Structure 1
Amino acid sequence: MLTLKQKKYSVKEIKEALHAKYGRRRLSFRFDLLDEEDNRLRDITHLVEADSSSVSMDSESEIHRTAKFRVRDVGDIDFLKDRIQPFVQLHMKDGNIEFPLGVFLLSTPQKEYEGDNIYRSVDAYDKLQILVDDGFTARLVADEGERVTDFIEDIITEAGIENINIERSDKEFPTWMNWEPDTSRLEVINELLDVINYEKLHVDEYGYFTSRPYRTPEQRSSEFTYATDKLSVITPGATATEDLFSVPNEFVGVVSEPDRTPLTYTHRNENEDSPTSIPNRGRTITTYLDADSVDLETLEGKVKKEAYERSQVYTEMSFDTAIMPMHSYNDVLRVNHDKLEIAGKYQEISWNMPFSATGTMSHTVKAVVAI
């Protein structure tokens, strides 16, 4: 989640403004045109119909961040090379705060005529699209002993990308690996990040390719609280679904390759606070994970990650709020909803935001559970 800490305003003041504590909120939207290296060219707010545009985040999709822009075409945007970076502006008493929402590559849709103007309804994608489109021309090979994060960064920079923020790891390839030329760069990168138990690669609001060691949401602090109190920004109509029947409570990870010593790790959910644990079910439901991991420590982390992700599916919640522009990738939230009798910690898996000050923002979250 984007930080609410600002030089000019306190976190408390910004939260109060977002929740309209002292009256109506004031939001506006700005759109910058960037070149192919993310250098700012100019402001194109006057060309974008904000009310007909929107931005979305889905952490479970291949391309996480997408947008739709309705743009008046006056002939000075190169839709093949230029990019758009939208911002939400929160107006305070004596100034405003800007929240960036991503850097987007543009499609080249058909022209639409309305009166004397030409418009384009543009589908736009974050910069992960570059790693899907820019393929390999030969078989890719990683050598035994090579540092995994160095290899990943090489794959990214070979696609002409410089803005990289991947936390460095000392993990090395325990044996050589290879991929066919028709495997996408993004697929290889995410496979390797999974091998060392890192987050999937994602692009932040400023256009940086980002990943870090995976931590379960249970290990992370809640970044924001939504509550149905007197300052609530939650709109009517929230839903919550539960599915406990098929959730496993024993997770067995196995690494078995001809040229390596076999590795196994088993995680048993025996937590009495977990409704799907072995004690609470009175039986064991086992699932197996055939995992590529560089060592036993990484395998343990991957099995626990799988246990967390498979256990959290039992509670999913969808709700709408006023526009809240600080949301990012896989945020951890606390949701207190009186009518649904919900009070807990959730991980956000997707959100959608129209560029409309009076619009509503949709959220889908999954419960953070003890495993």
Structure 2
Amino acid sequence: MTPTHINYPARSHRPLARLALATATCGLMLVAGEVALRLFAPMHLVGFPRAYEFDAELGVRAKPGVHALRTTDHQQELRVNRLGTVNFQEDFSGYRARLFALGDSYTQGTGLPADAVYPFQLDLLLNRDAAGRYERRVAVINLGLAANGGEQSLLILRRFIEKLGRPDVVLYLGAENDGSDDAMFLRGDRHRHLVDGSPRWGATLPLARWAAETEIGKRLRVAVKRPPTSSVPAGVRSGPSVAEQQRSVFERLKVQCRATNTTLVVGWAAAPSHSYDWLKSWAASNSVAFADWWPAVESTRASIPELPLHNPHSGGHLRPWVNRVIAEEFARQLEPQLSPTINSNSRGSTP
């Protein structure tokens, strides 16, 4: 009797089948996780990736002419004119004086409507007459950009002096992340952002941007960027403040402004803080004006204790009323220098 032969699947196919099954299972789990996160725990990140473009020197810059609006748990707004500054004005012709406002997201206006940020409020303070009518006196040119450190601000200052001419006034509002932002810039991290025109990403940019904007991708980005946990107890000072670490930036700003007879006013966005106190002391010892806005905020909150400082949404940053106070303090510091310009009947021409 002839034996019956049974053909069994080759064993070599089993590992491939298992791999395919495992891959499909992982894919389904990722899809299910993404859907669940979108429905029940969406993460809101600030910024407009499509509103920026690659810059060989700075890494990133805002696109000239963009007016971006994005609604998450609040409405984000970024308005950039054709010159590349964060202003509603398309040009600054007819103003008698020119003021450059340098800084990061606190100057650009992250978390705020574009007309609530301190440079715009300062514009209204300096350019309205006794009857409240707007008159072109001082061009308040907002050169702030989110995630800028001091080194980038110095480069931006040089660039816009070449483009628009020497300013009469330079304002610089520092922040607690300036040191880490400088480190990222000097490492080249800013040149690797997912922005239009990036030579690093090229044709893969749409796919990389899509992956980064998924809920899972957002969490991975936050995890990668999260700084290491400090072993120093809260409230205990360890090492020099961020402002003190930025001493070189302030010194170079001071030297450059004095060489061109430009008024310099510095300030710090985080208060009360060691950085705020250090910069105030540095400014006093170097005969540089300091925007000391915190006492005005303290006195206001002493009368209105429930008045919050920060925005109650993912954008964070200071509320509009605090930006108004900061603008008023900058204006107070500038009054001796700009009073002749504001009260003059002559008109110059600013690009």
User: Larger Cα Rg: Structure 1 or Structure 2?
Assistant: 2
Q: By the TM > 0.5 criterion, same fold?
A: no
Higher strand share: 1
TM tier, smaller: under 0.3
Which of structures 1 and 2 has the larger relative contact order (alpha carbons within 8 angstroms, sep 6+)?
2
Higher helix share: 2
Scaled by the length of structure 1, the TM-score of the pair is 0.20
